[in-house]
A and B are shown apart, each in its own frame.
Chain A
Amino acid sequence: MTLPEDRLSNLRRLEAESIHIIREVAAEFRNPVMLYSIGKDSGVMLHLAMKAFYPSKPPFPLLHVDTTWKFRDMITFRDETAKRLGLELLVHTNPEGLEKGIGPFSHGSSLHTHVMKTEALKQALDKYGFDAAFGGARRDEEKSRAKERVFSFRNASHGWDPKNQRPELWNLYNARVSKGESIRAFPLSNWTELDIWQYILTENIPMVPLYFAAKRPVVNRDGMLIMVDDERMEIKPGETVEEKMIRFRTLGCYPLTGAIESNADTLEAIVREMLIARTSERQGRLIDQDESASMEKKKREGYF
């Protein structure tokens, strides 16, 4: 019988499982890429990739799909991170979307997301011919994610068929795809939001400052606190810009990401706050609230 102190702790077990997945992808695919979206999950995934191949560097580049509406702090952090770790960073923006000036304020959240995220991602994957793409999604984020495989098969038009997923037994991942098809690989599938923060705390992983509370200018719009990150944000009549102690539980396009009022400016305080949270992190994402099935729908269209 194994003694309790000899057991792998929860985080160590998750960490090892993720590293196994990351190595498996690197070994089996011709041309993998790691989607880097700058947030906490991406940060943890990247940290795990650095460990997986140490003392080598991860044998794949990072890809950021830039909608041009990310928080400015995110872009700064992204470039610093790639430089600090010495990794190749690819940035892709949908050129047609850019030309047409697609944005969340002018075109609404769902069109913006479709053109600047989903379509842009597909363009980038096709352009470089990637046959596998790592994503930092977790099963505990959302109910259709809870259904997704670690190696999630995508057809030649990047679509997900949730009713016909490949069986996935043990840690024997099936990496076979025909030309044009691909796999989205999710090394963090079994992590929870709390695990992520605990790991960041234990490993001291650098994070975008926006996760930590500070005084920032915000507008209360449709019940969400939207940060005024640049001059593209128009202040509507009746709205006032206030300086508030806020932070973000999840990061995306600034016009679509709601802040929470908080004083948590250390990792410990963030974990503490999480423990007493009464709403899920997705609450702060405008695009996920339209409809119960919206995430599944987007994923079937090729979204991460």
Chain B
Amino acid sequence: MSVAEDFYSAEEAVADYVAAQEQKDQLRFLTCGSVDDGKSTLIGRLLYDTKLIFEDQLAALEKDSRRHGTVGEDIDLALLVDGLEAEREQGITIDVAYRFFATDKRKFIVADTPGHEQYTRNMATGASTADLAVLLVDARHGLMVQTRRHAFIASLLGIRHVVLAVNKIDLVNFSEERFNQIKAEFEQFASGFDFETLQAIPMSARYGDNVTGKSEKMPWFAGPTLLEHLEAVQVGEHELEAPFRFPVQWVNRPNLDFRGYSGTVASGRVKVGDEIVVAGPAKTSRVEKIISPLGEVEAARAGDAVTLTLEDEIDISRGDLLADPAARPDVADQLAAHLIWMSDDALLPGRSYLLKNGTKTVNATVSEIKHKINVNTFEHTAGKTLDLNEIAFCNLTTASPIAFDPYEANRTTGAFILIDRMTNATVGAGMVWFALRRATNIHWQALDVNKAARAEKLGQKPVVLWFTGLSGSGKSTIASIVEKKLHLEGRHTYTLDGDNVRHGLNKDLGFSDADRVENIRRVGEVAKLMTDAGLITLVSFISPFKAERQLVRDMLDDGEFIEIFVDTPIDECRKRDPKGLYAKADRGEIKNFTGIDSPYEAPENPELRIENTGDPEVAAQKVLDLLEQKGLLTNSNFVSHGDYI
């Protein structure tokens, strides 16, 4: 090794080099735009031209290009980035690739995102952590729906710096006119987005024109190359100028003498001695110590992962937000937000989802879709549900208040995700616009006459017996026998079923998925009030969706919800067909009929499953046996609260 000799003499040089590297800042950006516009090729080009491709990787690339390449004999630079087997076979990008490169001026983390509409959520993933977007346009095709969608999502996610890369300029003879045309069209389209910088650059990712080196073929273009621009653009740090916010991640309690709160400073600064407030309870204290990865320090700033100790012992746990008392966040349980929907299962208003904001996770429902947004025209359209990749402005209600800022003011405390409670999938990305109603204004009337008192008076333990099953399975028949028997034993009961609810309270609802969800939500709320009144409530509703039954279960206290699955096979139900409904559905006269053209999701762990015995009396007895077994029928006049089972 000939270089070996100057290794040791150069130790200091290395130390200097490392110190210089340390001072470099980092720019995170993404490439986006319509399918096949050359995003992956562009990243491949950047990596290649900045000499980041090692010899063994280059050899592999040449081999891959021969096998999967889309550019004849040349090496296909997109294959450097499209790393999944399926991507290489299909010649498209499916999911984000994160790649890294550096120049003398900066370090870059780039997310190469897919152009296909189907994978829009992966584009949003890449955009959520980026400071700048390189939006590609194929010079031949100009702006496409996907170009507009991506520009809109980038702007919605708070990206303030955009490069409009007019790519494949080689295929339009390096035409200045075409470039100006596309640039003008985009500037007009994006005028409402308030991007701080918008730089249009004509380029050819494939041949490298204006990517890292100036193109000789376009002397008419006086602007910077892409790399020059990426090295120079000042993206600012908005989170540093925002007020102090600190979502508590973890309470650090090694022994009785130390109680620290670990987390990442979401915005602003904090120093020893500063007053802080716990948003919500509004308790205040002062910062006693700040422990950073470097040891104890005097101050911390946005982006720092630290542990704070406070002067006073106050009750703080994961999910709490510490804030600057002079500029407090909103605390509310109702808010308006933009929502990007990312699941194949449509968003259903009224359905319960998990909402994660900062370090807090709560139950939440979308109470109303105010309007959907057409990404092409920005027109507002009405809608009852939200499908994959659609964007809407919504009202949300959370089960308990959360502390947040508008997304515009704070990209960390104003962001949330929605998680499906059944599949655990991440289904929505939200950006808070404002609080609808301050939580401080809501006080539940604290009544002395409460559920426990009422139950005690009635001498029973209130529960909800929830009968679910197909139409004609025998739910109502069984429920009515159970109610009679309970009544004879002196219990206080009430039955909710389609007949007394669908015709009154819910007569505005039909049988679409969205309406079915709302139907069950209302029935659940009524059952909850009945329970509060101390009654044993029997509900017989088809209630086909797991998520809604879970929603009702969650509304009630532990042990109050007893799910009874009347499991009669559909053929048997059809044979019985007491109301002639199956016959009608088969003739197509009824739409969305459960079991025919609308699904029934059977309970996995019901408290009781009644496999059809043919005799409703026997079935009813099973229900009563279960109640007996659970100790719900013991004649107690002393029901202590929280001791229902």
Chain A positions near chain B (C-beta within 8 angstroms): 1-2, 4, 6-13, 15-17, 19-20, 23-24, 26-27, 48, 51-57, 139-140, 142-147, 162-163, 165-172, 174, 176-178, 181, 189-190, 192, 194, 198, 201-202, 261-264, 266, 268-269, 271-273, 275-280, 282-283, 292-293, 296-297
Q: How far is the CA of A241 from the CA of B237 in the complex (A)?
A: 57
B540 proximity list for chain A (CB < 8 A): none
Is there an interface contact between B11 and A190, defined as CB atoms closer than 8 Å?
no
B316 interface contact, C-beta 8 A = no
Max chain B Cβ within 10 angstroms of own Cβ: one of A1, A11, A174: A174
Q: What are the residues of chain A within 8 A of B417 when measuring CB–CB?
A: 167, 169-170, 172, 174
In-complex Cβ contact of A172 among B80, B86, B415 (8 A): B415
| Chain A nearest Cβ from B152, distance in angstroms | 16
A7, A143, A144: residue with the most chain B Cβ atoms closer than 10 Å: A143
A293 contacts across to B, CB distance below 8 A: 85, 88
Contact B94 A163 (CB under 8 A): yes
For A300, give the chain B residue with the smallest CB separation.
B85
* A167-B122, A292-B63 as given contacts; A16 in contact with B264, CB under 8 Å: yes
CB distance from B585 to the nearest CB of A (A): 34
CB proximity of A38 to chain B, nearest CB, Å: 23
Residue of B nearest to A47 (CB): B293
Smallest CB separation, B420 vs chain A (Å)? 9
| Distance (whole angstroms) from the CB of B584 to the closest CB of chain A | 38
B234 touches A167 (CB 8 A): no
Tell me whether A162 and B84 are in contact (CB under 8 A).
yes
Contact A146/B83 with A52-B305, A170-B128, A279-B56 known, Cβ cut-off 8 Å: yes
Asked, given contacts A10-B22, A261-B1, A296-B84, whether A170 binds B97 with beta carbons under 8 Å apart, the answer is: no
Contacting residue for A292 out of B60, B236, B342, CB 8 A = B60
- Chain A residues lying within 8 Å of B293, measured Cβ to Cβ, are 12, 15-16, 19, 48, 51
| A151–B644 CA distance with the chains assembled, in angstroms | 39
**Once the chains are docked, how many angstroms separate the CA of A54 from the CA of B262?**
10
Q: List 23 A-B contacts (CB under 8 A).
A: A8-B301, A10-B22, A13-B26, A15-B293, A17-B305, A23-B305, A55-B291, A56-B252, A139-B100, A144-B83, A162-B84, A166-B425, A169-B426, A170-B411, A170-B412, A174-B417, A174-B426, A269-B7, A269-B8, A277-B54, A280-B57, A282-B56, A297-B85
Known: A2-B236, A16-B305, A280-B54. 12 other contacts (CB 8 A): A8-B301, A9-B23, A13-B303, A27-B250, A51-B293, A143-B80, A168-B426, A170-B129, A170-B417, A174-B356, A192-B100, A263-B4
Stretch at the interface among B13-21, B175-183, B223-231, B587-595: B13-21
Q: Kindly list chain B residues whose C-beta atoms are within 8 Å of the C-beta of A7.
A: 25, 237
Residue among B4, B98, B250, B429 making CB contact with A189, cutoff 8 Å:
B98
Q: Which residue of B lies closest to A178 (CB)?
A: B424
Beta-carbon contact of A168 and B54 below 8 Å: no
Which residues of A lie under 8 Å from residue B264 when comparing CB positions? Answer: 16, 19-20, 171
Whether B379 sits at the interface, judged by CB under 8 Å, is no
Residues in A neighbouring B254, C-beta threshold 8 A? 55-57
| Chain B residues closer than 8 Å to A52, beta-carbon distance | 262, 305
A277 to B346, CA, bound (A): 50
Asked if B437 is an interface residue, CB under 8 A from chain A, the answer is no
> Quick check: A146 and B98 within 8 Å, CB to CB?
yes
How many cross-chain pairs have Cβ atoms below 8 Å apart between A and B? 212
**Residues 533-548 (chain B) with a chain A CB within 8 angstroms:** none
User: Which residue, A48, A55, A271, A275, has most C-beta atoms of chain B within 10 A?
Assistant: A55
**Would you call A163 and B86 a contact (CB within 8 A)?**
yes
Say whether, besides A23-B250, A27-B249, A280-B56, A2 and B100 are in contact (CB < 8 Å): no
* Interchain CA distance A168-B426 in the complex, whole Å: 8
Contact between A56 and B253, CB atoms less than 8 A apart: yes
8 A Cβ contacts from B78-112 to A? 80-81, 83-86, 88, 94-100, 107, 109
Min Cβ gap A86→B in Å is 12
* B25 surroundings in chain A (CB, below 8 A): 4, 7-10
- What are the 10 A-B residue pairs with the smallest beta carbon separation, nearest first? A143-B83, A19-B305, A176-B424, A169-B128, A16-B305, A56-B254, A280-B54, A268-B14, A167-B121, A268-B11
B55 within 8 A of A: yes
* Distance between Cα atoms of A11 and B22 in the complex (Å): 6
Shortest CB distance B292–A (Å):
9
The answer to whether B359 has its CB under 8 Å from any CB of chain A is yes
Which residues of chain A come closer than 8 Å to B426, judged between CB atoms? 166-169, 174
B304 — which chain A residues lie within 8 A by C-beta?
8, 12, 16
A-side contacts of B11, CB under 8 Å? 266, 268-269, 272
Smallest CB gap from B57: residue in A? A280
Chain B interface, >50% SS class: mixed
A residues near B222, Cβ cutoff 8 Å: none
Contact size class for B?
Answer: 35 or more
In the complex the two chains form, is A198's CB within 8 Å of B18's CB? yes
B416 within 8 A of A: yes
B100 in contact with A140 (CB, 8 Å): yes
Tell me the bound Cα distance from A2 to B125 in angstroms.
27
B27 CB → nearest A CB, Å: 11
Give the residue name and chain of the A residue nearest to B97 (CB).
A146
B65–chain A nearest beta-carbon distance, Å: 11
By a CB distance below 8 angstroms, the chain B residues around A189 are 98
Inter-chain CA distance A165–B252, complex, in Å, is 32
Residue of A nearest to B26 (CB): A10
Are A167 and B342 in contact (CB-based, < 8 A)?
yes
A280 to B24, alpha carbons, bound, how many Å?
Answer: 23
How far is B18's CA from A27's CA once the two chains are assembled, in angstroms?
34
Q: Within the assembled complex, what's the spacing in Å between the Cα atoms of A70 and B354?
A: 44
B307 within 8 A of A: yes
Q: Is the CB of B97 within 8 A of A279?
A: no
Residues of B within 8 A of A276 (CB): 3
- Given contacts A1-B234, A7-B237, A171-B412, whether A278 and B54 have CB atoms under 8 Å apart is yes
Q: A167-B342, A263-B7 are in contact. Are A8 and B303 (CB under 8 A)?
A: yes
Give the distance in Å from the alpha carbon of A275 to the alpha carbon of B21 in the complex.
12
Q: Which residue of B is nearest A276, CB measured? A: B3
- Nearest residue (CB) in B for A167 is B121
A10: B residues at CB distance < 8 A: 21-22, 24-26, 107
Contact of A271 with B100 in the complex, beta carbons under 8 Å: no
Question: Which residue in A8, A20, A146, A163 is a CB contact (below 8 Å) of B99?
Answer: A146
- Contact pattern, B 284-327, Cβ under 8 Å of A = 1, otherwise 0: 00000001010000000101110100000000001000000000
Pairwise interchain contact A168-B22, C-beta atoms closer than 8 A: no
Does the CB pair A167–B4 fall under 8 Å? no
Q: Indicate if B240 sits at the interface (CB-CB under 8 A).
A: yes
Provide the residues of chain A in CB contact with B3, threshold 8 Å: 276
Any A CB within 8 A of the CB of B165: no
Question: Are A163 and B95 neighbours in the complex by a CB distance under 8 Å?
Answer: yes
Q: Please, which residue of chain A has its CB at the minimum distance from the CB of B291?
A: A54
- Is residue B124 within 8 Å, beta carbon to beta carbon, of the partner chain? yes
Contacts of B623 on A, CB cut-off 8 Å? none
In the complex the two chains form, what is the Cα distance from A162 to B93 in whole Å?
12
Once the chains bind, are A169 and B415 in contact (CB under 8 Å)?
yes
Bound complex: CA A161 to CA B242 (Å): 39
Interface contact B95-A162, CB-CB below 8 Å: yes
Closest chain A residue to B249, Cβ basis: A23
Q: Report which residue of A15, A26, A166, A278 has the largest number of chain B beta carbons within 10 angstroms of its beta carbon.
A: A166
B10 within 8 Å of A (CB atoms):
yes
Chain A residues whose CB sits within 8 angstroms of the CB of B15 once the complex forms: 268
State how many angstroms separate the Cβ of A43 from the closest Cβ of chain B.
Answer: 16
CB distance from A177 to the nearest CB of B (A): 6
Complex interface: chain A residues within 8 A of B408 (CB): none
In the assembled complex, how far is the CB of residue A271 from the closest CB belonging to chain B, in whole angstroms? 5
**Shortest distance in angstroms between A223's beta carbon and chain B's nearest beta carbon?**
12
